[in-house]
Amino acid sequence: MTREPLQNGGAVQAISLPALLLNFLKIGAIGFGGGMAIIALMERDLIRKRRVLDADEFLQGVGLGQVLGPFAVNTALFVGNRLYGTLGGLACAFAFMAPSVLMVILLSWLYFSFHAIPALQGAIGGLGPVVIALILVAAWSMGRKAVRSWPSVLMAALALTLSLFKINAVYILAGAGIIGLIAGRRIKAKGKPPEKTDQDKPQALGDGGAPIAGIAALPVAGSVSAGIFNVAWVFLKIGCVFFGGGFVLIPILQQRLRALGWLTKKEFVDGVAISNLTPGPIAVLATFTGFHLHGVMGALTATLALFAPALALMTFMSREYSRLKDARYFKNFMGGVTPAVVGMVAGAAVLLSPGILHDIAAWGLLAAALFLLARFQWHPAWVLAIGAVLGTIGVVR
């Protein structure tokens, strides 16, 4: 039985579960650029445009999603869980993941059939400046709602600085929460939230495919059979120590999969490239590996096993959120976490910039994207399409 979306002073609007799933399918299909870029898309479409959840609650969900696994998937689960319970949360997570998993399966079939990566790198190259623009606009939009006192400004700045040094996201958020507990309500944004106007609708989506967290190393044992149950077991164990963004999975997967003999060095490198050519988290590298070993069934098994621990933990935390969200200590803790998330979103844009904004064409596209997104409120899909076209014809590389 479905639940009505939570109300918050009349600001939150109802959305049907099918409409919510369609929104996550759309975000999953255009969510290039990594976790923070996807968070920005969610913030634009679901928080600013449709107002299905309170902005502070959404940011708190992003913070909780940093604990284990890909936080974009976790955030989709959190939103669905808050609106439609456990099954709704899982449905939203799967809807969000479906486009990237299907695309990786298709690209994997092409790769292992013809031993070549589809020539999409040019188009992807043009997406970079647009993704940075999306992240910056999202950080500005979220910051206007969550960073409205000097303590919260300092917290956001500290989180941004620490993220630039690639400090583990879990440490940043835990430290921010502890400061929130110590400072009490002083760190909370003061005063009445600003009134929403038409000019408060910049495009969202922040991604930040930058690695802002660490991952524990797994011991490499001897050769393991590539039977489908062993595939599930290996990826399930990796999922239990999947702390942080998807890029931090690359070293551990390289160590583990090469040691098991499941991928050659070239296949692993090409698998990483294919994962980067699709929207959604780079963790779909598990899909590529599973397809290589057992076709479509292996792809689905490896993906589900890798994500299962994070989905289970996030489901538990989302359910407990209802009980804890009004507790004073929890409010103070999340009062520290919320501005820290804003700082980390902004930090993701800075971390991405050196590898993307390397010539005047890229800077020009960034400026144009900011103008279209913030001033004219263009939908991110159209701006991303412009970037892809400019990348394909070689204007932006």
pLDDT of 11 reads 54
Cα separation, 33 vs 210, whole angstroms: 9
Helices 249-260 and 228-239, packing angle to 10 deg:
150
pLDDT of 38 reads 85
At 227, phi and psi to the nearest 5? -60, 155
Instruction: Collapse the DSSP code of 207 into the 3-class scheme (helix H, G, I; strand E, B; otherwise coil) and give the result.
Output: strand
User: Percent of the chain, pLDDT > 70?
Assistant: 78
E-strand stretches of the chain: none
pTM, two decimals, is 0.68
Lowest-confidence range among 21-30, 92-101, 319-328, 368-377?
319-328
**pLDDT per residue as tens digits for the range 361-375:** 999 999 999 999 888
Instruction: Collapse the DSSP code of 171 into the 3-class scheme (helix H, G, I; strand E, B; otherwise coil) and give the result.
Output: helix
pLDDT of 277 reads 67
Report the pLDDT averaged over residues 372-392.
Answer: 84
User: Percent of the chain, pLDDT > 90?
Assistant: 25
As to burial, measured by CB atoms within 10 angstroms (0-12 exposed, 13-18 middle, 19+ buried), residue 119 is exposed
pLDDT band at 212 (very low <50, low <70, confident <90, very high): very low
Distance from chain centroid for Cα 344: 12
**pLDDT per residue as tens digits for the range 267-298:** 876 777 677 667 767 678 889 999 999 999 99
CA angle 109, 130, 206 (to 5 degrees): 85
Is the model more confident about 135 or about 307?
A: 307
**Type of residue at 111:** Y
At 358, phi and psi to the nearest 5? -110, 0
Helices 35-42 and 71-114, packing angle to 10 deg:
120
**pLDDT per residue as tens digits for the range 302-312:** 999 999 998 99
Question: To 10 degrees, the CA torsion angle through 37, 241, 306, 355?
Answer: 30
As to burial, measured by CB atoms within 10 angstroms (0-12 exposed, 13-18 middle, 19+ buried), residue 241 is middle
pLDDT of 335 reads 82
Report the pLDDT averaged over residues 308-331.
Answer: 84
DSSP state of 192: P
pLDDT above 90 (res 34) = no
